[in-house]
């Protein structure tokens, strides 16, 4: 889109992104999936009987794998020419409880997950309507949540192996 000032620009809105850890991004460690990976990694290492997690586990979020996000952004740059923001999402919402269970299984944690319901976990459900991107760009995320989560956990484990040698 060419603005009144002659600038070409687009505005893309993304949901929560996930994927293998970037080489240097302290803020990435504060996201939902990396937090669970780190908590569960520590629980496995220390043979903990449980991990404590804020909320009820019912809060749900939409996640988009980083490679799919990059592809969607490239498609938008090449083919989207409108002033309105464009939502790029996966169309898949997953609960915090489901995330914790999936990461536990991938990392071999067999302890309990104790939900601290005295602590809030934000909005109950957060997701994007990406139908516009699907219609205009034919954009659809190619990475399933389960496959992306496997790659993400493997990336964290590989980075830990490299950093501890």
DSSP summary character for residue 8: B
**CA–CA dist 39, 51 (Å, integer):** 7
Q: What is the pTM of this model?
A: 0.85
Mind listing the pLDDT tens digit for each residue in 67-117?
A: 999 999 999 999 998 889 999 999 999 999 999 999 999 999 999 999 999
Q: What pLDDT is recorded for position 81?
A: 87
- Mean pLDDT over residues 14-29, rounded? 75
Pairing of strands 50-54, 125-126: unpaired
């Amino acid at each position: 889109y060419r603005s009144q000032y002659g600038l070409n620009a687009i505005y893309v809105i993304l949901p929560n992104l996930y994927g293998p850890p970037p080489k240097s991004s302290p803020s990435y460690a504060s996201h939902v999936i990396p937090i669970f990976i780190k908590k569960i990694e520590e629980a496995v290492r220390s043979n903990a009987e449980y991990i404590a997690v804020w909320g009820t586990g019912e809060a749900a979020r939409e996640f988009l794998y980083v490679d799919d996000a990059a592809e969607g952004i490239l498609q938008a740059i090449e083919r989207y020419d409108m002033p309105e923001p464009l939502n790029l999402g996966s169309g898949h919402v997953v609960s915090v409880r489901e995330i914790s269970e999936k990461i536990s299984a991938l990392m071999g944690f067999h302890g309990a997950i104790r939900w601290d319901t005295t602590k809030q976990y934000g909005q109950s459900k957060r997701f994007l309507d990406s139908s516009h991107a699907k219609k205009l760009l034919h954009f659809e995320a190619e990475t399933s949540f389960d496959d992306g989560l496997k790659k993400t956990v493997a990336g964290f484990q590989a980075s830990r192996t490299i950093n501890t040698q």
